[in-house]
Structure 1
Amino acid sequence: MECVDSLDDTAHAEDGHEEYCADTAVSTARVRTLPKTRIVARNACAITGASDFEPLLTLRDFPVGMYCVPEEWDGVEYVADMRWCVSKSSGVIQLAELIEAETLYDCQHESGAIGGLWKRHHEEFCEFIDAYGCESVLEIGSGHGHLAKEFVARRRGKCRWTMVEPNLPSWLLTGDHPSEIHPISAWFCDSFELPKDVPKIDAVVHSHTFEHIYDYDEFLRNVARMEPKFQIFSVPHQREWLARGWQNSIMFEHPQLLTPKAIEYIMSRHGFELQGKKVFADGHSMFYAFSYAGNASKSETSQQSLDEYAENKRLFRNWLKSNVDFVQNVNDRIDEATMNGEKPTVYMFGAHIFTQYLVSFGLRISAVEAILDNAEGKQGKRLYGLPLLVHSPKILSNVERPIVILRVGAYAEEIKRGILEVNARTVFWE
């Protein structure tokens, strides 16, 4: 099957498998195909181990990194085919090929670091953790470290927060942090060992990390090795995100669809018993608390089943159609304006996976002036794999009726309010 450049000519296989790719004109000179040696084949379902994959979608030459790079960067920007499939027995949507973790996470990006919604998330998740009386916490995949700062501020010296993260932010590396926080620059894997001075762990905590895991058997085995009372985590409500057509539900960094049923199945399979859960902010995230019961609870898993094939495939097809239709609508608007002799001033919001997906589905990026983003660390740079510069929405202040392509999931209303404060004449295509 050949890759196509327009949505009208999208290739359809008899089995329903589809393929898309972006116009090659949008790539930068530094883009290279990721070597096969950095791609890991997934031959079995991430949740059940079944080897009954059915192909669904291939996005050709998708950018591997979701972060921003300097305009005149001397590094290489890799692309790889994003191949989605579904397990016919479990129904788990997942990638058939994974990007080597050291390549995929070679740089820290600012997802989850700014914005009012994320601030609320960290506050409410800390309340959720606090309800279980945790004083000695091990956080896995701490990212920017904002959750740690929020929790230790609540406890006022009555906790110890140990965090393990391979790409620690500078404020943790320089020691400019509260004394209760103890960062460790490392991967959480079979070789990881806690320092001897760490008191017994009350809870292993992770926030928007579980959906990134490649090998749940390895990960949960190592969590159990820490002998925590609880495992408490926040995950994106991926099923809800997929149902709403949000691009960031599944991607290279979210290589499988974790529905609530799938999460509870895999946790039970590894001896963790559900103690509590909560939906945050109309489906932005789900908070979970599990106690560790060990082998005593594992036998119950044999009585459970995971069969979401029909439902998940339906959700995936609707997600795909929603995004393809959106891109087609935007392209039609651009064509209509051009035919009428207009030259609309079009911007796109989101120097992240949002823009990369839309471009991959064929959005006419050549008609876009720039990418907008509120993260100061991204501004003045390029989104990985694309030639467009990233700017603050403040550049819209003197533009007559700017058009902003806005498809950014749960963050749309917050972003829209901020842009309208800069320029009340802004028109949104969403």
Structure 2
Amino acid sequence: MKASLDIQSIRKECCVCESMEHQQVISFDDVPVFLGCSTKKRDEDIFVSYKALQCIRCGLITTDANLDELSYAELHSEAIGGIWLRHHDTFAAFCMRKMAYLLKQPSVLEIGPSSNPIVRRIQCEFDSVCYCDMLTELPFALIHNEVYVQARFPEHMDSNRFEIIIASHVFEHADNLNKFLKGALDRLEKNGSVLISIPNFQYWIENKYWNAITPEHNNYPMEEHLRYLAQLCRVEIEIEYFENHSVFAHFKKTEWTDRPFIIFNPSAAEKILLQWVESLQHSIELAENALISAAQKHHFDAVLLAGASHLSQYPILMSHQITQRVTNVIDNSDYKNGKRLYGTKVIVKEFEIIADYIQPAVVIFASPYQNEMSKQVKALNPRAIVLTC
């Protein structure tokens, strides 16, 4: 796997501002298409090459990975851990507050619930609940007023109407942000609301998180893009931030008055994107050197990488030295335990395995979950050598 600067002009329509002028910034070669684990043979793994582009006018970062629907259906994330649990509860409370104006039990559509439907965390009675996802089978059982539609929103879903539409960490997977939002708004009853949560991409990229740019995210909207889309669709928008992790947005159909359009700052997005790709190799070198230095000072009996996703896949595939040293990848997911990390030959173990070693070295690459995982490692084995890179 390789990620490198590859700057050239590209003509492609922006799904926010409709400009045709783009700049290709990064080339990614031989990237694993799935972020998780597999029970299949390693030679069945799929790798893709793709580009990261940036709109010259509005600064929106996009990728051209173009994963097919089967690939999206396989991209099942359990979204577990302390930060995710706080996110789910906080976003549910955000949704509850924004629904307070409704005078009756609403019908709700949740797009992409994965294994953690937000609807079930909202302290409210619903008239009906529809889940829309591309999973062949939902990883939870439906109850009396719930139905499931296997479809890719909005293209393959019927035109039923709802008072509330919820999408948590789904919007960024859409092929076209404008089309997705309009598809949601078109399915709303009068005065209905669309409530979304997306990664805080500006913070993630600025802070050089390894999972900031990946093949399953087609678009990387920031606050100004959300506000521009709201103006384009002539709806009100309210935005709140959850820690440095996510951005919550409430799009509401209401009386509209014209106002000046958002002024973009594309150069700021370009700067952080360039710094992000340059940081990847620096982070790899930091990890390699840290392992060498730690081996000279300590007699650790295992090298573990934390996070059975891009956080381990990419470093393993980009560094021969890390590949040679790693014992296992550790993750909090019961679903991933004992399986092979996709794209590699490394087996995933539960975090608790740390306690079985005398003094393991645990490498944790930059992500929103780095501090949380570091604390968990030390709680399980105070003698563990934690290397944050």
TM-score range, shorter chain: 0.7 to 0.9
Task: Report whether the alignment pairs 1:367 with 2:325.
Answer: yes
Contact 2:208 2:366 survives alignment (8 Å)? no
- Residue 84 of structure 2 aligns with which residue? 118
Task: Report whether the alignment pairs 1:89 with 2:57.
Answer: yes
- Residue 128 of structure 2 aligns with which residue? 160
The one of 317, 327, 330 aligned to 2:284 = 327
Secondary structure in structure 2 of the residue aligned to 1:387: coil
Shift of 1:293: 4.4
Contact 2:133 2:149 survives alignment (8 Å)? yes
Q: Distance in 2 between matches of 1:74 and 1:249?
A: 26
Give runs of aligned pairs for residues 107-186 of structure 1, distance below 5 A. 107-112=74-79, 114-131=80-97, 132-133=99-100, 135-151=106-122, 154-155=123-124, 157-167=125-135, 169-172=137-140, 176-186=141-151
- Residue 98 of structure 1 aligns with which residue? 65
Shift of 1:194: 4.9
Kindly tell me the number of residue pairs found equivalent between the two proteins.
380
Contact 1:42 1:98 survives alignment (8 Å)? no
| Cα distance, 1:333–1:171 mapped onto 2, change above 3 Å | closer
Task: Report whether the alignment pairs 1:279 with 2:241.
Answer: yes
Contact 2:11 2:20 survives alignment (8 Å)? no
Question: Cα deviations across residues 303-329 of structure 1 (Å, max 9, x unaligned)?
Answer: 424532210111112222333211111
Q: Distance in 1 between matches of 2:48 and 2:135?
A: 23
Task: Report whether the alignment pairs 1:380 with 2:338.
Answer: yes
Secondary structure in structure 2 of the residue aligned to 1:332: helix
Contact 1:232 1:288 survives alignment (8 Å)? yes
Secondary structure in structure 2 of the residue aligned to 1:54: strand
Contact 2:52 2:62 survives alignment (8 Å)? yes
The one of 49, 52, 57 aligned to 2:18 = 49
Q: Distance in 1 between matches of 2:297 and 2:194?
A: 59
Contact 2:73 2:136 survives alignment (8 Å)? no
Shift of 1:149: 2.2
Percent of aligned pairs with the same residue? 20
| Cα distance, 1:362–1:59 mapped onto 2, change above 3 Å | farther
Q: Which amino acid aligns with 1:308?
A: N
Q: Distance in 1 between matches of 2:296 and 2:50?
A: 35
- Residue 206 of structure 1 aligns with which residue? 167
Shift of 1:43: 2.4
Q: Distance in 2 between matches of 1:265 and 1:360?
A: 38
Secondary structure in structure 1 of the residue aligned to 2:248: strand
- Residue 36 of structure 1 aligns with which residue? none
Secondary structure in structure 2 of the residue aligned to 1:388: coil
Q: Which amino acid aligns with 2:132?
A: V
Alignment TM-score, normalising by the size of structure 1: 0.80
Contact 1:60 1:80 survives alignment (8 Å)? yes
Alignment TM-score, normalising by the size of structure 2: 0.88
Task: Report whether the alignment pairs 1:69 with 2:35.
Answer: no
Contact 2:171 2:180 survives alignment (8 Å)? no
Secondary structure in structure 1 of the residue aligned to 2:220: coil
| Cα distance, 1:74–1:194 mapped onto 2, change above 3 Å | farther
Contact 1:92 1:308 survives alignment (8 Å)? no
Contact 2:327 2:346 survives alignment (8 Å)? yes
| Cα distance, 1:128–1:334 mapped onto 2, change above 3 Å | closer
Task: Report whether the alignment pairs 1:215 with 2:182.
Answer: no
Q: Which amino acid aligns with 1:104?
A: S
The one of 281, 292, 309 aligned to 2:266 = 309
Contact 2:239 2:247 survives alignment (8 Å)? yes
Q: Distance in 2 between matches of 1:12 and 1:100?
A: 22
Question: Cα deviations across residues 217-237 of structure 1 (Å, max 9, x unaligned)?
Answer: 321232122124111111111
| Cα distance, 1:293–1:360 mapped onto 2, change above 3 Å | farther
Task: Report whether the alignment pairs 1:413 with 2:375.
Answer: no
The one of 132, 146, 158 aligned to 1:193 = 158
Contact 1:144 1:168 survives alignment (8 Å)? no
Shift of 1:86: 1.6
Q: Distance in 1 between matches of 2:131 and 2:228?
A: 27
Shift of 1:333: 2.9
Unaligned runs of 5+ in 1: 5-9, 18-40
Contact 1:91 1:306 survives alignment (8 Å)? no
Shift of 1:242: 1.0
Shift of 1:210: 0.9
| Cα distance, 1:283–1:339 mapped onto 2, change above 3 Å | closer
| Cα distance, 1:194–1:86 mapped onto 2, change above 3 Å | closer
- Residue 188 of structure 2 aligns with which residue? 227
Unaligned runs of 5+ in 2: none
Q: Distance in 2 between matches of 1:410 and 1:330?
A: 18
